[in-house]
Structure 1
Amino acid sequence: MEIGHKIKQLRVQKGLTLEELASRSELTKGFLSQMERNLTSPSIATLNDILEALGTTLAEFFKEEKQEQLVFHKKDFFMDERGQYTVHWIVPNTQKNEMEPILIELPPGGESFQMNPHSGEEFGYVLEGSIMLDCGEERHTVHKGETFYLLGKTSHILKNDKKTKAKVLWISTPPLF
């Protein structure tokens, strides 16, 4: 970690000049300038004084910020081949998120797992082929380019009764897959 660079970022964020920070922390402008360019290092006590002048603490300053991943590539995906369907987990570790997307492939005659009633919602987009959505006592055909949206209050399942493979982008909130 480049302490000086990070201090400079904090100082600039706070809208302070070197002179103002020097005055607040009772240090010289020259020392702070050298420190920001990583030419010198402050003692723990001096660093604490600087951070206090910047309105933060040692703990906050050194806290590692986990970078949130925004884009997921094919190398991040993993596949789970099951008896009558294949699940592609296209966003890893979604159990901690508000929603969970999967790509499910149903071969001819295949069907997904049974979704039992839950308090969430689900959305699906048929990317390839067509599927039957059995939702409680109702049955709906959903073709390529069409979507479904349902509350999780009834059990439901996706089935492929055609002779070609079906692919569905299926999103659940909260994560249930």
Structure 2
Amino acid sequence: MRHDTVQSNTLGADLRALRKSRGLTLSELANRLGRSVGWLSQVERDLSAPSIADLRQISTLLDVPLSLLFGTAAASPDESGHVVRRNARRRIGNRTAGLVEELLSPDLTDDFEMVHSTFEPHSEIETTNIRETQEVGYLVSGRLDLRIGDRDFTIQPGDSFRIRGEPHRWANPYDEPAVAIWVIAPPVY
């Protein structure tokens, strides 16, 4: 493998799932990338490895963090596609708002994704979030303030919540991190 390419056991399947979840055909995404349909098809079948520049462009067009497209620590053959070890989680998003997210799902090929979210102390999202998803969260530790629609909630450890395509915001004004597990359908990362 060349140094300017990235290889992942799930990259092609993940790209296909992300493309389809955005309602794009192979032809539409290939045109937006300025690449051939054949090249994109090979990438989605893991027959060709895209360059870092290609991945940057793909991440922008699919509106996902570039870090999501990088592989994880190798899983043993009997665990691949089934088990994600703690040290092999893929980081998604960025820390700018004080949120660290890791993908718990082995890949993005299911109808949902699971995410481990750590909300750092005294952090808050700057803008209201709204997406065409159904999300369920479970707070493992800490406390988290949520605004879902026009209602405010303080979530405690052991509490769960649901968001159905509604505008929402979060804040952790407290002195300890808040850790939550989210299930999101369809996958957005």
Which of the five TM-score ranges fits, normalised by the shorter chain? 0.5 to 0.7
3-state DSSP of counterpart to 1:169? strand
Give 1:114 shift: 4.3
CA contact (8 A) 1:76 1:91 kept: no
Q: 2:120 aligned with 1:91, yes or no?
A: no
Change (3 A) 1:173 1:136: same
For 2:84 and 2:172, the matched residues in 1 are separated by 28
Could you say which residue in structure 2 is the equivalent of 1:163? 175
Larger radius of gyration: 1
Give the TM-score, by structure 1 length. Answer: 0.55
Matched, 1:102 2:120: no
TM-score w.r.t. structure 2 length?
0.52
Q: Distance in 2 between matches of 1:117 and 1:71?
A: 28
Unaligned runs of 5+ in 1: 1-66
Query: Which of the numbers 52, 65, 69 marks the counterpart of 2:81?
Result: 69
Q: Offset at 1:78?
A: 2.1
CA distance in 1, matches of 2:150, 2:106: 33
Q: Deviations over 1:69-105 (max 9, x none)?
A: 22221233122441121111222432x2100111111
Give ranges in structure 2 of 5+ residues lacking alignment: 1-77
What is the alpha-carbon distance in structure 2 between the residues aligned to residue 175 and residue 135 of structure 1? 20
Query: 1:166: how far off?
Result: 0.5
CA deviation digits over 1:138-167, x for unaligned, max 9? 111110111002211x21122111111100
The aligned counterpart of 2:154 is 141
Alignment partner for residue 130 of structure 1, among 118, 131, 143? Answer: 143
Root-mean-square deviation over aligned CA pairs: 2.3
Q: Percent identity over the alignment?
A: 20
